[in-house]
A and B are shown apart, each in its own frame.
Chain A
Amino acid sequence: MYRYDEFDHAFVRDRVTQFRDQVKRRIAGDLTEEQFKPLRLMNGVYLQLHAYMLRVAIPYGTLSARQMRKLAHIARTYDKDYGHFTTRQNIQFNWPRLEDLPAILDELADVEMHAIQTSGNCIRNVTTDHFAGAAADEAGDPRPWAEIIRQWSSLHPEFSYLPRKFKVAVTGAARDRAAIRFHDIGLELRHAPKDFGEGAKGETGLGFRIFVGGGQGRTPMVAKEIRDFVPERDLLAYLEAIMRVYNRFGRRDNKYKARIKILVHERGIDEIREAVEAEFEALRGGVLDIPLEAREQISAYFAAPDFEVLPAKSETLEAAWTSNPVFGQWMARNTHPHKTPGYVSVTISLKPTGGVPGDARSAQMDAVADLADRYSFSEIRVSHEQNLILPHVRKDDLPALHKALVDAGLEAANAGLVTDIIACPGLDYCALANARSIPIAQRISERLADHDRQAEIGDLSLKISGCINACGHHHVGHIGILGVDRKGEEFYQITLGGAPGGDAAIGEIVGRGFSTDQVVDAVETIVDTYLGVRQDADETFLTAYRRVGKAPFQEALYGA
């Protein structure tokens, strides 16, 4: 993992000091709320329906056990004993008091964490694949790049007052688990294309395919490719070129048209590419050049832990699997192939039946920290599906790990299944929401709790947003649910066929909305309709939907 040096420590401490001063000036009246708002936002402080909310960055989703214990401590000491893991690899505390915020930020700084740029019209926390550095299908590790971008973008003097917020995601794997095409900039670490000139590839032959202008919200768009290959050493120059074009020419007259996706849409990708390339030519090879030795220095922080040499097959695991069906179910859903023989990555689901997606109590956070120490080289990841990951677990340890998870109430065996629901905080917390999300998620999860039935349904993502801002990613859910307000009553519109990854698509509205009472039945009808139309058990919901279209679903939902 990345470790702060003296420089990073001083930087984060100075930032806390600066914020403490800003809070003081706000209280003294030297700053109006209007002036204070962007300053507090750039330190992750929101004003929600009931209270301030603090959003803490978990850079590229990586936590040490020690950091997780600190988060548990903050939940216990300053909040109502829980925290909420978000879809952008952050954690939110919903009930801190304004006067406690500088102290909380100080506590975070103790463990090399911060809330810098988790909000505001700046470059936000950089996200990446939660299996980075462990997955078997990687061209390269995206984490060093996420760290390099984090540093470059922190308190950037030119790009702190952009037209609108700006989100960057990086993946290093062939299979996109970071939804890069739904980010303002999506980066895919890849080998140079075959026809790329030898000299232009850079020393490593690695570089980035770059997408720009994706996003969800009220105008969902799939990002467009702006360049198929930028050599590693030029990445920051290319990013700075994109940012400069956006900062200068992005719309500022309407908040809802200010994201870069609108600029790309209105001007066209070719015009944007031309402007970016001209800027890139001028910046390339300058101060943002990243020499190989510097890249190696950062990469060293992310060196693989001391894996044991193990056989690919584990006898302990095989025995437990056959003798304990509950373990078998969990094992089948919640583990992911690892590049090192004898190891897997484990998903700890934060979606128990009837629970709040993404919430964890302080005792659970402590338990996960202990398990990470014991079984995963003290390392934890946070996924954008709002689950926790132990990235490096020996297959031999899985039965013992599972038992410990059962004791902590974290054994839900539903990773990737229909009850692995993503939901935004909704009207229960959020000032922007039109409808509640969490209670809908809870009721769907209760209705479809039966594990055998879920397993029969197979891979199916269900995502719920409480308003058109789409924090619950409903546009890219295989089943998406959008809460709307109709005459003061909550209604839910359903979309089908969305997908976030390499097969990116925006879901289609299936028909008129459903009331709070009807929506759970409607989801069940959709699931049953899928089971009826699929060709065999291997045809997933998404594949079947793309084959048959929405007609059979409409018929089942609304009659002929």
Chain B
Amino acid sequence: MVPERLLAGVPGPGNEVVCSAAAWPDPGVLDRLFTGAPARDLIAYALNELAPGRAAVVSSFGADSAVLLHHVAAIAPDTPVIFLETGKHFDETLAYRDQLVKQLGLTDVRSVAPDAGRIAAVDPNGDLNKRDADLCCALRKEKPLKQALAGFDVWLSGRRRGQAASRASMPLVERVDGRLKVNPLADWDSGDISAYRTIHELPAHPLVARGYPSIGCAPCTSPVANGEDARAGRWRGSDKTECGIHIARNGETVRVITRNAMPGEDPPTNGRTNGPTNGMTMTERSEIWTKEGFQADPWQRLDDEEALPEDGAIVVSAERWSGLRGRNTLDDWDVGVAVGEGDPIEDLIPDLDRIAMVSLSFPAFTDGRAYSSARLLRERHGYEGEIRAEGDVLLDQIPYMLRCGFSSFAIRDEATRRALADGHIPEVPIYMQPTGSSNEAPFGNRPWMRSRS
């Protein structure tokens, strides 16, 4: 059961519930809610609202640890902070721990040591790290952590996406072994960290200046050269990159939005640039709304691997289109092309007269890139086919989409569907500026609504 208090703690005026009780607390919802918000909001929420008294911080007192600990100290200095005392740390790390604890006023730092009996049995000579690093980590880190976290529902970690390729898709909030794991600094880059440290005058780990941007146990940590991944010095010479206490989320990656390529620039290579968004699969069909009302979607979306049907209306990715476009005849199909979110539409321009529909994606309703794409298609390139909006398409943005040239809308939001079915479109029907669309008549004395003709 979800306690009422937790539901009431969801941020927002009047503390309205933003997801159903059954799903709460949903890491995906928290992730969306706090994306873009200051880290301290998420930390304060985790410590004070989500699980007061049942949240702990896990810290290595390493190169970047001071920032999370400083946040925590400002909000609740009595928060339990778990430090895995593996017995293999650098002396500098232990001294740094003591310095930070004192300076920040943390009152409940728990240095957790591995079970002495098991150490004696498995690693009597203390050289297990050389023989089996994974086993060493399991003995000295994973198992003690598991025990130390008993009784906590939420734990906070200072990991960041930019630290390593293995962390690039880490969400702000994830569920791990039945607990919520909160990564409030996930989207901070090293510049943010150093700016924060400067502003708050936080001391640096003494080894950072000596070429260690990421610091673990002494035997398995080496300095890093310029240009290397910050964590390249961890378990150097092996393909091990994480100690095992930070596992991936069910092997499932979280979408990373990458910057767009400008015309003439190579497209970004990291992250997905094509394909389904928001968990919607290529073959899933939505109800389609146009100015004439709702209708079944006549278009069939094909995965890149899916066989072409005999005939019909098919939607393919821009990538697949680049393979199809060489065919002499496409008579058997009506072809629509789904442009990946934010991808430039320029590649489609030479073929526009053979493309019956272009689908543009709104990965989030706050992402306005597709408005520009639609206007370019209509006004610059004279495209007269269907332009479809898909993704996070909501009621209040539809009037803008119509003006930019969208003509059909894949609607998933229930409230939007209801309002459209009732003919309720919240538009300000007076336009203060022209688009190049031919169906907007000049009105009043807006000077720029008169073209030069």
With A158-B368, A161-B371, A294-B450 already in contact, the answer to whether A485 and B74 are too (CB < 8 A) is yes
Evaluate contact between A253 and B16: CB separation under 8 angstroms: no
Bound: A460/B187 CA distance, A: 39
Per-residue CB proximity of B63-78 to A under 8 Å, as 1/0? 0000000100110000
Return A288 CB to nearest CB of chain B, in Å: 6
Residues of B within 8 A of A11 (CB): 428, 430, 432
Evaluate contact between B451 and A287: CB separation under 8 angstroms: yes
Partner of A121 from B105, B366, B396, B426 at Cβ < 8 Å? B366
Return B321 CB to nearest CB of chain A, in Å: 21
Task: Determine if A557 is an interface residue (Cβ-Cβ < 8 Å).
Answer: no
Return A85 CB to nearest CB of chain B, in Å: 26
Bound: A160/B365 CA distance, A: 11
Return A492 CB to nearest CB of chain B, in Å: 12
Task: Determine if B433 is an interface residue (Cβ-Cβ < 8 Å).
Answer: yes
Residues of B within 8 A of A525 (CB): none
Return B292 CB to nearest CB of chain A, in Å: 21
Evaluate contact between B396 and A39: CB separation under 8 angstroms: yes
Evaluate contact between A158 and B435: CB separation under 8 angstroms: yes
Residues of A within 8 A of B445 (CB): 5, 7, 297
Per-residue CB proximity of A248-260 to B under 8 Å, as 1/0? 1101111110000
Task: Determine if B207 is an interface residue (Cβ-Cβ < 8 Å).
Answer: no
Return A264 CB to nearest CB of chain B, in Å: 13
Task: Determine if A453 is an interface residue (Cβ-Cβ < 8 Å).
Answer: no
Task: Determine if A34 is an interface residue (Cβ-Cβ < 8 Å).
Answer: yes
Evaluate contact between A488 and B73: CB separation under 8 angstroms: yes
Task: Determine if B13 is an interface residue (Cβ-Cβ < 8 Å).
Answer: yes
Bound: A524/B369 CA distance, A: 50
Bound: A267/B265 CA distance, A: 11
Residues of A within 8 A of B256 (CB): 253
With A248-B372, A286-B436, A487-B73 already in contact, the answer to whether A7 and B430 are too (CB < 8 A) is yes
Evaluate contact between A432 and B38: CB separation under 8 angstroms: yes
Partner of B432 from A32, A155, A254 at Cβ < 8 Å? A155
Evaluate contact between B452 and A289: CB separation under 8 angstroms: yes
Task: Determine if A78 is an interface residue (Cβ-Cβ < 8 Å).
Answer: no
Bound: A493/B451 CA distance, A: 53
Evaluate contact between B199 and A236: CB separation under 8 angstroms: no
Task: Determine if B130 is an interface residue (Cβ-Cβ < 8 Å).
Answer: no
Task: Determine if A291 is an interface residue (Cβ-Cβ < 8 Å).
Answer: yes
Segment with Cβ contacts to A, from B134-142, B279-287, B348-356, B397-405: B397-405
Evaluate contact between B199 and A157: CB separation under 8 angstroms: no
Evaluate contact between B400 and A160: CB separation under 8 angstroms: yes
Bound: A271/B73 CA distance, A: 44
Evaluate contact between B449 and A287: CB separation under 8 angstroms: yes
Bound: A31/B424 CA distance, A: 14
Partner of A161 from B105, B260, B367, B429 at Cβ < 8 Å? B367
Within 8 A of B (CB), among A274-308: 275, 282, 285-291, 293-295, 297-298
Return A122 CB to nearest CB of chain B, in Å: 9
Residues of A within 8 A of B342 (CB): 248, 252
Within 8 A of A (CB), among B380-408: 380, 394, 396-397, 399-401, 403-404
Task: Determine if A244 is an interface residue (Cβ-Cβ < 8 Å).
Answer: yes
Bound: A294/B434 CA distance, A: 15
Bound: A351/B427 CA distance, A: 42
Segment with Cβ contacts to B, from A14-22, A167-175, A394-402: A14-22
State the main secondary structure of chain B at its contact with A: loop
Evaluate contact between B74 and A488: CB separation under 8 angstroms: yes
Residues of B within 8 A of A255 (CB): 36
Return B62 CB to nearest CB of chain A, in Å: 21
Bound: A156/B397 CA distance, A: 11
With A5-B444, A98-B13, A486-B200 already in contact, the answer to whether A159 and B258 are too (CB < 8 A) is no
Partner of A18 from B344, B369, B428 at Cβ < 8 Å? B428
Evaluate contact between B380 and A267: CB separation under 8 angstroms: no
Within 8 A of B (CB), among A181-236: 218, 236
Evaluate contact between B365 and A161: CB separation under 8 angstroms: yes
Nearest to A295 among chain B residues (CB) is B447
Partner of B365 from A22, A35, A98, A287 at Cβ < 8 Å? A35
Return B286 CB to nearest CB of chain A, in Å: 18
Partner of A487 from B105, B368, B401, B426 at Cβ < 8 Å? B105
Partner of B448 from A5, A31, A288, A468 at Cβ < 8 Å? A288
Task: Determine if A162 is an interface residue (Cβ-Cβ < 8 Å).
Answer: yes
Per-residue CB proximity of B249-263 to A under 8 Å, as 1/0? 000000011111011
Return B432 CB to nearest CB of chain A, in Å: 4
Return B412 CB to nearest CB of chain A, in Å: 13
Evaluate contact between A159 and B368: CB separation under 8 angstroms: yes
Return B397 CB to nearest CB of chain A, in Å: 7
Nearest to B429 among chain A residues (CB) is A14
With A247-B369, A256-B192 already in contact, the answer to whether A290 and B447 are too (CB < 8 A) is yes
Evaluate contact between B74 and A297: CB separation under 8 angstroms: no
Evaluate contact between A287 and B74: CB separation under 8 angstroms: no
Evaluate contact between A157 and B435: CB separation under 8 angstroms: yes
Segment with Cβ contacts to B, from A146-154, A317-325, A338-346, A415-423: A146-154
Evaluate contact between A152 and B430: CB separation under 8 angstroms: no
Nearest to B41 among chain A residues (CB) is A431
Task: Determine if A47 is an interface residue (Cβ-Cβ < 8 Å).
Answer: yes
Partner of B371 from A52, A247, A271, A282 at Cβ < 8 Å? A247
Residues of A within 8 A of B367 (CB): 161, 252
Task: Determine if A33 is an interface residue (Cβ-Cβ < 8 Å).
Answer: yes
Bound: A290/B447 CA distance, A: 7
Residues of B within 8 A of A485 (CB): 74, 200
Task: Determine if A80 is an interface residue (Cβ-Cβ < 8 Å).
Answer: no
Bound: A291/B257 CA distance, A: 42
Residues of A within 8 A of B404 (CB): 157-158
Return B407 CB to nearest CB of chain A, in Å: 14
Task: Determine if A458 is an interface residue (Cβ-Cβ < 8 Å).
Answer: no
Evaluate contact between B366 and A38: CB separation under 8 angstroms: yes
Residues of A within 8 A of B36 (CB): 255
Bound: A11/B199 CA distance, A: 46
Bound: A540/B201 CA distance, A: 32
Nearest to A237 among chain B residues (CB) is B448
Nearest to B73 among chain A residues (CB) is A487
Evaluate contact between A484 and B18: CB separation under 8 angstroms: no
Evaluate contact between A154 and B262: CB separation under 8 angstroms: no
Evaluate contact between A486 and B201: CB separation under 8 angstroms: yes
Evaluate contact between B371 and A47: CB separation under 8 angstroms: no
Evaluate contact between B258 and A291: CB separation under 8 angstroms: no
Bound: A33/B452 CA distance, A: 44
With A153-B433, A158-B368, A297-B445 already in contact, the answer to whether A291 and B452 are too (CB < 8 A) is yes
Evaluate contact between A25 and B415: CB separation under 8 angstroms: yes
Residues of B within 8 A of A153 (CB): 433
Evaluate contact between A289 and B448: CB separation under 8 angstroms: yes
Residues of A within 8 A of B128 (CB): none
Residues of A within 8 A of B421 (CB): none
With A253-B257, A286-B451, A291-B452 already in contact, the answer to whether A18 and B201 are too (CB < 8 A) is no
Residues of B within 8 A of A290 (CB): 447-448
With A157-B435, A484-B200 already in contact, the answer to whether A7 and B428 are too (CB < 8 A) is no
With A158-B375, A247-B368, A289-B451 already in contact, the answer to whether A35 and B16 are too (CB < 8 A) is no
Nearest to B447 among chain A residues (CB) is A294
Return B167 CB to nearest CB of chain A, in Å: 15
Nearest to B12 among chain A residues (CB) is A33
- Can you give 25 contacting A-B residue pairs, CB < 8 Å? A5-B445, A14-B428, A18-B427, A121-B366, A157-B401, A158-B368, A159-B368, A159-B371, A161-B365, A161-B367, A161-B371, A248-B369, A249-B259, A249-B260, A252-B369, A285-B452, A287-B448, A288-B448, A289-B448, A294-B448, A298-B447, A484-B199, A486-B200, A512-B201, A513-B201
Q: Which 9 A-B pairs have the closest CB atoms?
A: A294-B447, A161-B368, A33-B12, A7-B444, A157-B403, A30-B415, A157-B400, A255-B36, A287-B434
Given contacts A7-B443, A161-B366, 19 further A-B contacts (CB under 8 A): A7-B445, A11-B430, A14-B430, A18-B427, A34-B32, A34-B33, A155-B431, A157-B400, A157-B401, A160-B368, A162-B368, A247-B369, A253-B259, A289-B451, A291-B447, A295-B447, A484-B200, A486-B201, A513-B201
